Amino acid sequence: MNTNTTAALTLLAASTIPTTIYAHGGDDHTKAWNAPAGAAARPNPMSSSSENIARGKILYETFCKQCHGVDATGVGPGSGLIRGKSTNLTYSADHHTAGDLFWKIRTGRSAMPSYKLVFKKKQVWEMVTYIKTLAAKE
């Protein structure tokens, strides 16, 4: 991704965050937000190659870290705009299927924007591939 593309994507990401937004569950995993069964069961067609992970990381850092944080624990600079807390992706990476994460990124809910019209499916799968590497180490 070249510098102009990254700058354009960053601007687009910033413009998708309203001034007052609401969290979509945060660490309260009792308020389930799950993909329909068929979508959740969908396997990730991307390999866990270092190239796919790196591309997913670039997309995460451009579009997701503002709310989910650099360490993906749900505390990013955009968290101050959210009532509640962004989802802790280190938890979600370990407790949600790749298909569930893919569906959530494409569908969106409340403060989580839908990226269906922003990213190609391949790019969403790259983000999922990266997010899955963030599972909390116990």
CB 117 within 8 A of CB 44: no
Does the global pTM surpass 0.85? Answer: no
Q: Where are the domains of the chain?
A: 3-132
* Per-residue model confidence as pLDDT tens digits over 86-98: 889 999 999 999 9
CB 32 within 8 A of CB 100: no
* Per-residue model confidence as pLDDT tens digits over 32-55: 788 999 999 999 999 999 999 999
CB 127 within 8 A of CB 60: yes
Q: Give the Cα separation of 95 and 60 in Å (integer).
A: 19
CATH of domain 3-132: 1.10.760.10
